[in-house]
Structure 1
Amino acid sequence: MKLQFLSALYERHGPVASVYLDTSRDVDDPDRAVELRWRSLRESLLAHGADPATVEAAGRALGTDAPVSGPHGQAVFAAEGELLLAACLPEPPVHASARYGVVPDALPFALQHAPDLAYTALVIHRTHTMDTGNAEDELEVERESGRWPMSRVAAGRTPSRRIPVDGWAQEAEQLLAEFAEQVEARGTEVIVLAGDPWAANTLTREAPRHLHDRFVRLRDGHPRRPQPGRALLEAELRSLLAGKVPEHDRQRLDAFHAQRARRQEEVEGLAATVTALQRGQARALLVNRRARLPDRLWAGAEPTHLALSGAELTAFGVGYYWEEEPGAALIRAAYGTQAELLVVEPEEVSLEDGLGVLLRYVDTDARADGAGRKEEPWPG
């Protein structure tokens, strides 16, 4: 998973307020509940040195996701009195938190993006209309494209359309052309069809060969309408896409397995991960979901200023550094060195310390000065 969605958090230097809050609407008086949760976090930010303007900027963004129904949360980042980023989260944070520090606390936000799988959902309902006294069958088409799981609460639904049944063949041809374009441009990996069997059969029968393995047909011919602000076919997609990894990430995971088989001590565990990020050597940072990270790391002004101790940074010639929350330091280093993020379930790949790296290159001798490098073989 690429990390460009974090760019707004790293465009400026200086302290950032990072807030994670449960903003679910499935409770009595949800606005009051959000206000009470925010009140204690607000006081904590002020007590830790956040300026009032920044705290107020964060507070104004909280609760703006009110149109989204059901359980969910928000991640809000602000600095110097300005809102940097506010996003609705598909899952409420396990614990409400507010942190004011030099480095944004962005890892929990990034984890909620994974696996970042591009998909399209298409629901086709058959309806009956009366036109000049004559009954006529029409097809109501609802379509939504997104990236799972963030699109559960940030849906990009196309307005529904009504198509005469006798015009469906032409409409299907247009849809297939759009699907082919999405596969090429957005990397769409799954196209989920639900609703009228005849219309779905027509669509899949006319699909070009390279789209055949993208289609998934749902048996339910009458899927329920989504709740306000929620994704089309959310419940079905949650079951269907559970454990599915984008092909892009699957290739990187396969490459990691190959590296681990040859040099495990260089690609797995906290020390190996920190070393690779220090050197800009990581092609991807791997994190076990729900990993228990260490209590602290040490960081300096640059993303590669990352170490297990302050003495190590001093030895590198870094004159100014501080203790940093590990997740914040690691994700900043990954973003700053253009590494990707792979979030893996511990049941699938159990990592020492919950961390690993896919290397861009390996050192061919004991030196870390770049004089002895060997590029790693890379698929694709």
Structure 2
Amino acid sequence: MDLALLEPLYAGDASVASVHLDTSRVTHDADKQNELRWRAARRSLSEQGAEEADLAVLDDVVGGAPDLPGPQGEALFVSAGRLLGAFSLVEPPAADSARVLPVPDPLGVAIDRDHQLPHVVVAVDREGADVEAYPAAEHEPALRRTFNGSTLHITRVRAGAEAKASFHRRTVNLWTENTGQAADDVRAAMARVEAAVVLVAGDPKAVGLLREHLAARQPDGEVFYVEGGRTDSSARAALRASVDAAMHEVMTNRHRDVLARLEGELAGGRALQGIPAVKEALSEGRVETLLLAADRSEDPVLFASRRDPRALGTERAALGEDSTAFSAPAATLLLRSAVLGGASFTEILPPTRCTDGVAAVLRY
């Protein structure tokens, strides 16, 4: 994933309070549960020395998306009484976290965005289609189009042979026209969010016609056919579940491709693994893609500079007489160097294992 969205988090030199919370709304008492989570996180931040001005800013913005049901999370970053960034998370964090560090700790955001792709969801039947375009990691569509074509003679009628044939031709023509309009809506939706994936569900006949229309001008993204539809709440619920499962499969396959490339690049000397080697490559600006495992429970401390965000050392002395030197957990500093060095990011998914849970594909 592109790490550019994290750049504003590194605007200042003061300590940063980083908060990742599960703000899911799947139970009747979700508001109360979310309030308790924030109280615990606030208490932890205070014990770590967070400024009251920073806590007050968080009080005003914490809470997730109250109008959105289902699993979700949020990540908030505050420094010197200013909100640096607020991110909705499609997937709740594995565990709530609240940290005060010299730099932000946005690994949870990077991992969440790394799991998402811009996509279009299509529910089609013989009367029309619902088309929704989702930017990466957004709960709400950036574009929604609902099309209902003519329903006159949309199904066969009881009549004589000649009449039945005539009505049948009209029915097929209407189905074709309706799905043709749906195909145009799909292309417009894909362009709006630069979709990588299109997920199509609905009436089998209409899906088949839509497939033919899309094949005439093949979309740039991958097209998947999933279960569900637009007829009622149960069909829409089935569609949402199918979309989530399909997107997870797409994400997993894409990660496997990246990790397979990593394996080949390691063998060819165009990639590195382990904190010592990767920190040196980041310092030299040679990293194209930084890869980190999500579990950072055994991270060592590294030293970094305010003057040069790419400079990293395992010892304070490695930075010489730099009066701006500071220490922080390795992952936060590796990610900082990657963000400010223009590198991209990919999570190291199990069962792939790298030394220290760290690897890098090199530019040169």
User: Same fold, TM exceeding 0.5?
Assistant: yes
2:275 corresponding residue in structure 1: 270
Write the distance in 1 (CA, Å) between the matches of 2:293 and 2:186: 33
SS in 2 for 1:211: coil
The residue identity in structure 2 corresponding to 1:303 is: P
1:101 corresponding residue in structure 2: 101
Distance 1:159 1:206, change over 3 A: closer
Question: Are the equivalent residues in 2 in contact too, given 1:298–1:307 (CA < 8 A)?
Answer: yes
Structure 1 residue 39, shift from structure 2 partner: 1.7
SS in 2 for 1:117: coil
2:354 corresponding residue in structure 1: 351
Question: Are the equivalent residues in 2 in contact too, given 1:292–1:353 (CA < 8 A)?
Answer: no
Deviations 1:235-267 (A, max 9, x none): 212322334349987775554333200238x60
- Map 1:37-186 onto structure 2 (within 5 A): 37-125=37-125, 138-139=127-128, 141-147=129-135, 150-151=137-138, 153-156=139-142, 158-165=144-151, 169-170=176-177, 172-177=179-184, 179-180=186-187
2:339 corresponding residue in structure 1: 335
The residue identity in structure 2 corresponding to 1:162 is: N
TM-score, normalized by length of structure 1? Answer: 0.78
2:161 corresponding residue in structure 1: none
Distance 1:292 1:97, change over 3 A: closer
1:325 aligns with 2:311: no
Structure 1 residue 220, shift from structure 2 partner: 4.2
Structure 1 residue 195, shift from structure 2 partner: 1.0
Task: Please tell me the root mean square deviation across aligned C-alpha atoms, in Å.
Answer: 3.2
Could you say which structure has the higher helix fraction? 2
Identity across matched positions, percent: 28
Could you say which structure has the higher strand fraction? 1
Q: Which runs of 4+ in 1 moved over 6 A?
A: 246-251
SS in 2 for 1:12: coil
1:280 aligns with 2:285: yes
SS in 1 for 2:205: helix
Deviates more, 1:196-205 or 1:6-15: 6-15
Structure 1 residue 191, shift from structure 2 partner: 1.2
Give structure 2 stretches of 5+ with no counterpart. Answer: 152-172
Query: In terms of Rg, which structure is larger?
Result: 2
Distance 1:310 1:186, change over 3 A: same
Distance 1:248 1:324, change over 3 A: same
Question: Are the equivalent residues in 1 in contact too, given 2:226–2:243 (CA < 8 A)?
Answer: no
Question: Are the equivalent residues in 2 in contact too, given 1:194–1:219 (CA < 8 A)?
Answer: yes
1:8 corresponding residue in structure 2: 8
Write the distance in 2 (CA, Å) between the matches of 1:70 and 1:245: 20
Question: Are the equivalent residues in 2 in contact too, given 1:17–1:101 (CA < 8 A)?
Answer: yes
TM-score, normalized by length of structure 2? Answer: 0.81
1:204 aligns with 2:211: yes
Distance 1:176 1:6, change over 3 A: same
SS in 2 for 1:56: helix
Give structure 1 stretches of 5+ with no counterpart. Answer: 127-137, 362-380
